[in-house]
A and B are shown apart, each in its own frame.
Chain A
């Protein structure tokens, strides 16, 4: 998964598990950027009676680095509070929820938003309503309308949403984790199986909890400008999500639990799949606790990723050129994931942030958002991953192709990628997943409802 249950410890703490992070120039307004972080992996829509919600004891941050040091220069912080109307019922709602203040909605959640720039902390909002979970047509009968009312426009210029959405990350988990059984050439796998070329969209009927914010670009850049020249370094921002908990929690039975100590980061996510498949298991929990500025220690895993070593072994006839690369450091992957691509490699594009190795989504905000190619830059669409990340980008396919050698010619033009690296796909065709998304904020679609999921 992008970062769903990707590390041993955070897999046990779903409400703090940052599953996906997105950053893109808003398609309907090139003067703004939309930043999204998702939490709570693999939500089954019928998962009541205690339906999913953010953690009141978790601090959710969306971080922006605008000078390339892997340290946040701007942070949008979201904190939540749950309010229960009637603790003497087990029900989430005692009748249809027809509005965000519907008296029959028993367990509601509210949140505050704070912007942090250096030592300056500004509360942008203090008590914004989340929508309910999409239980079924008797509970929120007009869910799309109800959720739309939970899109809040702040006086400071931001637009925010926090609540349940349909999972936007599509992936064929069954193939990925079954010893990397790539369906397009499954019959070439070292271990005989039962080839099935039809990809499985594992997350099709699942939901997630989304924090989304649309921000004027000028609020994020280092000089407060709205850049229009993609070649300038000030046009690039780094983005990552992070969740933190207090260092200590003491459980006291009938008395309220108490918490103490500084906030400690327990989850982080910039590029999809970084901690998932690049960082080895024994280091994943540590990685989640660190800032991007510390990612230099993981450089060797990017230079020689385990998946790139496995592919020629698992597919003895399909990746001969990749095998021949041996242990040559993968400078292409280092650029894509840790520094950004300098100018001169791809005409009209750069998202280079300097020599600090840091896993961040790097978004060139001067490139307008008009493309729709799910393969992003690999598909010739400069507004897509790894230039930031849009909700519909097929990041699994893009990263698998890159690791398989498709992007190595960027740094060595004598290298000829294996043909297989160009035909790897995950869930296919990507167009089949378009129903998951919305054309406008918050872009991730209406969550699947518990009553009618899974579909017959």
Chain B
């Protein structure tokens, strides 16, 4: 993120895969799709995210994510999640536009 200006970041987020984890109708739609892929088979989570956490997909090809949670910024890789999100977006694009 350090090499991105604020505007470039927002532009990239809005044109690419930017996902607000809470509070967005679009996110709810995607969450449902992700759950359908297999999240329900995971053990129940012990922790919780801060309010208004936002997940930024920096590079879908490598599964590079940045989670903005509270005032923290956490980078991680999860190729499976990237694939699931792409699948969800593909399905969502054939349904109702939000």
The answer to whether A300 has its CB under 8 Å from any CB of chain B is no
Nearest A residue to B23 by beta-carbon distance?
A258
- Residue of A250, A258, A259, A266 near B6 (CB, 8 A) is A266
The answer to whether A289 has its CB under 8 Å from any CB of chain B is yes
Looking at the complex, which of B7-15, B34-42, B75-83, B85-93 is the stretch in contact with chain A? B7-15
**Docked CA distance A89–B54 (Å):** 35
The answer to whether B69 has its CB under 8 Å from any CB of chain A is yes
CB proximity to B under 8 Å, residues A239-262: 245-250, 252, 255, 258-262
Interface majority SS on B: helix, strand, loop or mixed? mixed
Interface majority SS on A: helix, strand, loop or mixed? strand
**Docked CA distance A85–B23 (Å):** 28
Which residues on A sit within 8 Å (CB–CB) of B46?
none
Which residues on A sit within 8 Å (CB–CB) of B73?
247, 261-262
Cβ B70 vs Cβ A260 within 8 A: yes
**Docked CA distance A88–B68 (Å):** 36
**Docked CA distance A255–B9 (Å):** 23
- Residue of A248, A266, A285 near B54 (CB, 8 A) is A248
Which residues on B sit within 8 Å (CB–CB) of A260?
20, 52-54, 68-70
Number of chain B residues whose Cβ lies closer than 8 Å to a Cβ of chain A: 21
Contact with A along B40-61 (1 / 0, CB 8 A): 0000000000011110100000
- Residue of A261, A266, A285 near B68 (CB, 8 A) is A261
- Residue of A245, A258, A263 near B52 (CB, 8 A) is A258
The answer to whether A9 has its CB under 8 Å from any CB of chain B is yes
Which residues on A sit within 8 Å (CB–CB) of B52?
250, 258-260
Nearest A residue to B25 by beta-carbon distance?
A252
Which residues on A sit within 8 Å (CB–CB) of B68?
247-248, 260-262
- Residue of A9, A247, A255 near B1 (CB, 8 A) is A247
Cβ A247 vs Cβ B23 within 8 A: no
Which residues on A sit within 8 Å (CB–CB) of B9?
247-248
Contact with B along A244-288 (1 / 0, CB 8 A): 011111101001001111111010000000000000000001100
Cβ A262 vs Cβ B71 within 8 A: yes
Cβ B71 vs Cβ A250 within 8 A: no
- Asked whether A261 and B6 contact (CB < 8 A) given A247-B1, A248-B13, the answer is no
Which residues on B sit within 8 Å (CB–CB) of A249?
10
Smallest distance from the beta carbon of B40 to chain A beta carbons, Å? 26
The answer to whether B72 has its CB under 8 Å from any CB of chain A is yes
Cβ B24 vs Cβ A250 within 8 A: yes
Which residues on B sit within 8 Å (CB–CB) of A264?
6
Which residues on A sit within 8 Å (CB–CB) of B51?
258
**Docked CA distance A285–B68 (Å):** 22
The answer to whether B5 has its CB under 8 Å from any CB of chain A is yes
- Residue of A252, A258, A261, A266 near B71 (CB, 8 A) is A261
Cβ A261 vs Cβ B7 within 8 A: no
**Docked CA distance A264–B71 (Å):** 10
Which residues on A sit within 8 Å (CB–CB) of B72?
261-262
Smallest distance from the beta carbon of A280 to chain B beta carbons, Å? 15
**Docked CA distance A353–B54 (Å):** 41
- Residue of A9, A250, A262, A266 near B20 (CB, 8 A) is A250
**Docked CA distance A262–B66 (Å):** 12
Smallest distance from the beta carbon of A8 to chain B beta carbons, Å? 9
**Docked CA distance A262–B70 (Å):** 7
Nearest B residue to A289 by beta-carbon distance?
B5
**Docked CA distance A357–B68 (Å):** 32
Cβ B1 vs Cβ A286 within 8 A: no
- Residue of B5, B23, B24, B54 near A261 (CB, 8 A) is B54
Which residues on A sit within 8 Å (CB–CB) of B54?
248, 250, 260-261
**Docked CA distance A263–B56 (Å):** 16
**Docked CA distance A246–B69 (Å):** 11
**Docked CA distance A259–B54 (Å):** 9
**Docked CA distance A264–B7 (Å):** 12
Nearest B residue to A264 by beta-carbon distance?
B6
> Can you identify 12 A-B contacts, CB atoms within 8 angstroms?
A9-B6, A245-B6, A247-B9, A248-B10, A248-B56, A249-B10, A250-B24, A260-B70, A261-B54, A261-B71, A262-B72, A289-B6
Residue numbers of B with Cβ under 8 A of A are: 1, 5-7, 9-10, 13, 20, 23-24, 51-54, 56, 68-73
Residue numbers of A with Cβ under 8 A of B are: 9, 245-250, 252, 255, 258-264, 266, 285-286, 289
Apart from A245-B6, A248-B9, A260-B20: 10 A-B pairs, beta carbons within 8 A: A248-B13, A249-B10, A250-B20, A252-B24, A258-B23, A260-B53, A260-B69, A261-B68, A261-B71, A289-B5
Query: Sorted from nearest, which 8 A-B pairs have the closest CB atoms?
Result: A261-B68, A258-B52, A260-B52, A260-B68, A260-B54, A248-B54, A262-B71, A285-B5
